[in-house]
Amino acid sequence: MSRRPVPAWLRVAPTGFVLAWGGNHFTPLLHVYESLGGYAPWQANLLLGMYVVGLVPGMLLAAALSDRHGRRPLAIAGLISAAIASLLLAVGMESFLVLCFGRVLAGVGVGVGMSVGSSWIKELSSAPHDVAATATAGARRSSLTLTLGFAIGAGVTGSLAQWGPLPGQLPYAAHLLLCLLAAVALVTAPESLPRELRARGSLRDDLRVPSAGHPIFVRLVLPAAPWVFAAAGVAYAILPSTVEAHLGDSATIYATGLTVLTLGVGALAQGTVGLLNRLTRGRALLVGMSGMTVGMILAAVASSLGSPVVAAAVAALLGASYGVCVVSGLIIAQSLATPRDLAGITGVYYSLSYLGFLLPTILAALTPVLSYTGGLTIVAVICALCLSTVGIGLRRPPRSAASVEIDAADDVPAEEPSAAADLTLSR
């Protein structure tokens, strides 16, 4: 009896999972660095957001290079960067500079996972690699892989830090081992970008992503994308700080639980995007942004109350909104791309999304003059303005000759156009 071969996309998924793990397993350690490392809250939050410094340029450069040289070499480079990052973080507890450098390298790894890994999974989720996949399968599979890596990585790290020895070192050793295992799976994955479709010319030209200037991207994706990880950052970096006085020695495990809750609910919510698009005639992004706005308002309320239970409920709402927004935004962004700039538009989308991860650092730095409650109130107002922008963009799509359909039907094969798609966005 012959075994069924492992689907091609599942051979790449461990790499995306491990790279996401390496980016987010620092989150539940914020209390560890404040208590054992002696770092101020703004320093700990700066370390949390520091990997955006490596993520954004790393993501865009990796996307351009992978469009030129294929997905595999850049994915391997991402694994190497993530492994070195964990090594530096494991030995650098006493040096803020070393920790910063380690977090930047971790960001480079996440950038590769989100641009190159997501593009590779999407390409392996369509013909000829997967003829049964639906049109939205690639976006859902890649975003779910990353979300699970973010969530499980934080959960395991927080548990090791709370109950295991060497809380500043053991979690990173575990991640190093996972990097090696992911590399073994990666070498069996087929390259998905044929040589004839690879970008040519100068690297400078490759870094240009024309699709990012498309009116649909500007009106819908641009105002929504930063809130994807702003929601996550508020949920598991800011909310634990607002209730820390009520937690005692359980601060680390509470932050871990909130991270897993936020991203776990987000993972479940990602599977509802197709249904939401059908029910709302293609407006799942608007649903996600509405939940995001309500979540930010309630985050300000939770900060004022200082209740761990209320904070957990708000984190769940923000997690659900994160899950809906990350997939619906990615579907729209990738629908605008050609094969030669798929990784590029994916990189731009996630780069914009990750700008929101700087929000906890900004809010923490402002606490001497502005409380978390006041800061979150301002954030909620800005989020409501972005919600209005997305709503207007969906009501008045730009006009031109060609059209792009956002396929909301989960049961339609990727190679067939969807008659059930409710929203047609004009190029």
Instruction: Identify the weakest region by mean pLDDT among 154-158, 170-174, 306-310, 401-405.
Output: 401-405
Residue with the larger pLDDT of the pair 33 and 200: 33
The CATH fold assigned to 8-186+204-426 is: Growth Hormone; Chain: A; (1.20.1250)
Phi, psi of 167 (to 5 degrees): -60, -25
pLDDT the model gives residue 338: 77
Query: Where are the domains positioned within the chain?
Result: 8-186+204-426
Mean pLDDT value of segment 317-334 = 94
Burial class (CB in 10 A: 0-12, 13-18, 19+), 2: exposed
Confidence of residue 3 (pLDDT cuts 50, 70, 90): low
Per-residue pLDDT at 51 exceeds 90? no
Per-residue pLDDT at 364 exceeds 80? yes
Per-residue pLDDT at 45 exceeds 90? no
Confidence of residue 292 (pLDDT cuts 50, 70, 90): very high
In sequence order, what DSSP letters do the residues of 247-313 get, joined into one string? Answer: TGGGHHHHHHHHHHHHHHHHHHHHTTHHHHHHHTTS-HHHHHHHHHHHHHHHHHHHHHHT-HHHHHH
Confidence of residue 153 (pLDDT cuts 50, 70, 90): very high
Which residues, listed in sequence order, are joined to residue 406 by a DSSP beta bridge?
Answer: 423
pLDDT the model gives residue 29: 87
Tell me the pLDDT tens digit for each residue of 203-241: 777 677 888 889 999 999 999 999 999 999 899 889 998
Per-residue pLDDT at 340 exceeds 80? no
Mean pLDDT value of segment 130-135 = 84
Mean pLDDT value of segment 291-303 = 97
Per-residue pLDDT at 21 exceeds 50? yes
Q: Are 324 and 279 in contact (CB under 8 A)?
A: no
For the chain, give the percent of residues with pLDDT over 90. 49
The two tokens of residue 400 are: 């031109």
Instruction: Identify the weakest region by mean pLDDT among 132-146, 307-321, 353-367, 402-416.
Output: 402-416
Per-residue pLDDT at 310 exceeds 60? yes
Give Cα 166 to chain centroid, integer Å. 28
Instruction: Identify the weakest region by mean pLDDT among 53-62, 199-208, 283-292, 358-367.
Output: 199-208
Confidence of residue 133 (pLDDT cuts 50, 70, 90): confident
